[in-house]
Amino acid sequence: MPSPVASGQEIMVPLFNAESAGALVHVNWQQNLSQRKADYYALTADNITTGEQVPFFIAAEYYKSSMAANPNHITKIGELIEGEGYKLKVDNRLQYGQKNAQGELRFIVYHDKGAQTLPAGKAAEMAKAFGVGAAGDQLMNQVKAFVGDYLHTF
């Protein structure tokens, strides 16, 4: 089992390419009696520290080239490594979801934490949409036991 990504490690997020940006995942949920929705890109980031890969979800408005003026855009928070992507330090700007307390199937989410508090069930749907197949099903089954558990901040 790969070791879960941890605070202080560095990851490489691929450069935005409209043709290969990955699947756009549409997430809907209810928060404070209001309907919420957001779009995320499902990517694979390289954990530079460990040499492993980690599922990475990024809010569309933080990744799409047309939205680069956003102060939280990946171009503003990551160090551009020409031809490769954006190097980010794992810190409290990022959140994560996982199957269990041991960090199994951990994935990272970069979005507006204040406006978008995703319940873990919706986070698990994101992981399943990422294409982790049976692992996504496992994550969904685990999360059903923890309804109301939210993404965690590094």
Domain with 113, as residue range(s), is: 10-145
Q: Domain total for the chain?
A: 1
Give me the mean pLDDT over the 87-101 stretch.
90
Q: Classify 37 in phi/psi space as left (phi over 0), alpha (psi -120 to 50) or beta.
A: beta
42-60 burial string, b = 16+ CB within 10 Å, else e?
Answer: bbebbbeebeeebbbbbbb
Lowest-pLDDT range of 47-56, 62-71, 140-149: 140-149
CA gap 111, 84 in Å, rounded: 22
- Tens-place pLDDT, residues 107-152: 899 998 876 556 555 566 666 655 555 545 544 444 444 334 578 8
- Note whether residue 118 is domain-resident: yes
- Tens-place pLDDT, residues 7-43: 999 999 999 987 766 667 887 766 666 777 888 888 8
- Note whether residue 109 is domain-resident: yes
Angle 120-129/134-144 helices, nearest 10 degrees?
A: 170
